[in-house]
Structure 1
Amino acid sequence: MQEDLFSPLALRETELPNRVMVSPMCQYSCENRDGIATEWHRVHLGSRAVGGAGVVMSEATAVSPEGRITPEDLGIWTDEHVDALAPIAEFVRQQGSVPAIQLAHAGRKASKTRPWEGSEPLSPEEGGWEVLAPSDEPWPYDDEPPQQRAMDQGDIEEFVEDYRRAAERALDAGFEIAEVHAAHGYLLHEFLSPVTNDRDDEYGGSFENRTRLVRQVTETVRDVWPDEKPVFVRISGTDWLPDGESWTIEGSIELADDLHELGADLIDVSSGGLHPDQQLPEEGSSGQLPLAERVREESESGIAVGAVGGITDAEGADELIRNGKADLAIIGRKHLRDPYFTLHAARELDAEDRVAPPTQYQRGF
């Protein structure tokens, strides 16, 4: 039987009820700059589960205070964070969706104001903090960048332990999938790309060295995560910087196989975000979908692949799965406009018998 958008997907012993995933989307809505989830997060994620998505993933959730993009970011570095996230994960599960969490560290893109406040670097007087990165070169802000430190061995060891502790807390909170965020110019992506990594130690230079930290983090999360539950890794398939040495789709394909060997179950293929000089494809975010297709076709390990970017309608999402371009359709902005995308897609694709709205909503469908 041909797989389609509403085919279940088994990853280890976890079965996704369909191939729609709510992409991690930062909400910048923690009220006291403490990283604690609020009712906004519960409604935001819960409504997409009510809408029928197979996987509902949290926004980038910082593994440490300095790993936040903005002071209002979600975090998971204390047990108090677990207490706030656990009811959200449980509600998502009760709707028949799989609760997932993205674990992240913003690296040199940390300590900024929220996007609607300009994404400007924060001064210490404004609550900003020293940011960590592989190298000394800061993000090229128009204004004075935050104070930045190239990570030493001690910083790297503590960073890996931050991921271990965050994964343990995510498991305690009831999440079924953990995703390592290694895309969009954040810290792990900064190590991967020679554009931002000019180290001369075991974490810089060669492909093996530049990918060492993401491999260590993935292995660490996998060690914590139960054997029956999947681990995802989000990568930027390319830097979109063709005029010099950079991170490319060929490196992404090789990395996907390395991560699968370490226990990763799905590669979530996004792109860009490393440098403002990136040359995005003319077709916009939909131009990154072929990157996921290449990883799926050319990786030797057969690792599952999620495609994200410019998926805006049921037919397009279904086509990705039917034609074998991806195993999972990861949908962001469309879910902001339509929390019930999956239920509406089922109607459009004559698949209403395969996904049902909650009893309370059936009159509307």
Structure 2
Amino acid sequence: MTANLATPFEIDGFSLKNRIVMPPMCQYSVTAQDGKPNDWHYIHYVSRAIGGAGLINIEMTNVEPDGRITNQCLGLWSDDQIPGFARIIDAVHQYDTKIGIQIAHAGRKSNDAPQPVSSTNVAFSSQYKQPRALTTDETKRMVELFRDAIVRAVKAGFDTVQLHGAHGYLIHQFHSPGTNDRTDVYGDDPARFGIEIIQAAKSVLPSHVKLQMRVSAADYGEGGYDLNYGVELCRKYKDAGVDIFDISSGGGTSTNPQNLGGGIYPGYQLHMARAVKEATGLPVIAVGLLDEPKLAQSAVASGDCDLVAIGRAMLRDPYWALHAQQATGAQVSPPKAYERGY
């Protein structure tokens, strides 16, 4: 049977009520203190559960204070941060929505670290601070920080965990040839850092908590990589233990517009999602200007992807998931208090 936006999704005991995902989107909440989610985050995420999303992935959440993009970003480097996330999870679950969290480190794209760390000592651009390349031992310790944050995510009660290997953040900085100029074991195999984090994650995740990974399938940057490289990277990450891929692109180095090929347009990353899906056999989330409901439905129905992530449109409309299903002919089930509106 051909899937549509309203079709339930299941993989190995992990099930979603529909194919609509809210992707991680940094909130830079000025009231966030010490990486802890607050009332803004609670309202922001719970409203999208009320609005019908099948899966919500909480924004980039960092493994150490200096791993944040800004000091207003979230973290899971301390047990003190767990209760704020657990409160959100409990509320989201009341609406039959699953919830995950994106675990990350900004690396050289950290704006507020006194000196950012990276795979390299080369800055992202002249607008960013010059980073310090991690030593081999520090890199191994960084893997442990990812593992420890994921242990806390499990304690909080998340249904799934996503690793951020896209958009020029630390894992991406290691696996891109444009930013990995190392001479140690992490230079010999640029995928090694990501593989070790995946393996560490799987060592502490219960079988019912699925591991997602967001990957830039091509990064467009000078000295970066193309789709063929990205597909091979995903094959390695699949073998290491990834369950679901979230396929995006870009962010490796300062973008050369000529490298964008056909440019940015609705659905411009769908061919990348399909390529990764066909190469790995794993479920894939597609993202990238899929705001129009019929386009999102087509992406699922055509087999380009299994799930669609809707970012900007869901910022504008917390109820996009309900509205999109209704617009594409599905019966919707809003909360009882809102039934008269449908």
TM-score bucket of the superposed structures, by smaller chain? over 0.9
What residue in structure 1 maps to residue 18 of structure 2? 18
Question: Do structure 1's residue 332 and structure 2's residue 311 form an aligned pair?
Answer: yes
What residue in structure 2 maps to residue 360 of structure 1? 337
> Take 1:335 and 1:289, find their aligned partners in 2: how far apart are those partners?
19
> Take 1:285 and 1:364, find their aligned partners in 2: how far apart are those partners?
29
TM-superposed deviation, 1:248: 1.9
Most deviating of 274-283 and 132-141 = 274-283
Q: Aligned ranges for residues 28-43 of structure 1 at < 5 Å?
A: 28-29=28-29, 31=31, 33-43=33-43
Structure 2 unpaired stretches of 5+: none
What residue in structure 1 maps to residue 285 of structure 2? 306
SS at match of 2:60: strand
- 1:296 paired residue among 277, 292, 313: 277
1:252-272 alpha-carbon deviations (Å, 9 max, x no partner): 211222222222111101110
SS at match of 1:287: coil
Runs of 4+ displaced beyond 6 Å: none
What residue in structure 2 maps to residue 156 of structure 1? 139
- 1:230 paired residue among 200, 210, 214: 210
SS at match of 1:286: coil
> Take 1:239 and 1:282, find their aligned partners in 2: how far apart are those partners?
13
> Take 2:53 and 2:106, find their aligned partners in 1: how far apart are those partners?
27
1:237-294 alpha-carbon deviations (Å, 9 max, x no partner): 11113xx542221122112222222221111011101222332342346322221122
What residue in structure 2 maps to residue 118 of structure 1? none
Q: Aligned ranges for residues 245-324 of structure 1 at < 5 Å?
A: 245-279=223-257, 280=260, 281-284=262-265, 286-297=267-278, 299=279, 301-324=280-303
> Take 2:130 and 2:66, find their aligned partners in 1: how far apart are those partners?
12
TM-superposed deviation, 1:33: 4.3
TM-superposed deviation, 1:11: 2.1
SS at match of 1:213: helix
**Aligned residues with identical type, % of pairs:** 37
> Take 1:129 and 1:286, find their aligned partners in 2: how far apart are those partners?
38
> Take 2:11 and 2:146, find their aligned partners in 1: how far apart are those partners?
22
1:115-157 alpha-carbon deviations (Å, 9 max, x no partner): xxxxxxxxxxxxx422110011111124xx4352100022112
Q: 1:188 to 1:150 in 2, by over 3 A?
A: same
SS at match of 2:137: helix
Is the Cα contact below 8 Å between 2:224 and 2:252 reproduced in 1? no
Question: Do structure 1's residue 204 and structure 2's residue 193 form an aligned pair?
Answer: no
> Take 2:66 and 2:290, find their aligned partners in 1: how far apart are those partners?
32
> Take 2:220 and 2:121, find their aligned partners in 1: how far apart are those partners?
22
Q: Which amino acid aligns with 1:357?
A: P
TM-score, normalisation: structure 1? 0.89
Is the Cα contact below 8 Å between 2:166 and 2:251 reproduced in 1? yes
Structure 1 unpaired stretches of 5+: 113-127
> Take 1:139 and 1:90, find their aligned partners in 2: how far apart are those partners?
38
Is the Cα contact below 8 Å between 1:30 and 1:38 reproduced in 2? no
> Take 2:42 and 2:115, find their aligned partners in 1: how far apart are those partners?
31
Q: Aligned ranges for residues 123-142 of structure 1 at < 5 Å?
A: 128-142=113-127
TM-superposed deviation, 1:342: 1.1
SS at match of 2:114: coil
SS at match of 1:260: helix
Q: Which amino acid aligns with 1:135?
A: T
What residue in structure 2 maps to residue 61 of structure 1? 61
> Take 2:25 and 2:272, find their aligned partners in 1: how far apart are those partners?
20
> Take 1:285 and 1:6, find their aligned partners in 2: how far apart are those partners?
21
> Take 1:32 and 1:26, find their aligned partners in 2: how far apart are those partners?
12
- 1:184 paired residue among 146, 167, 173: 167
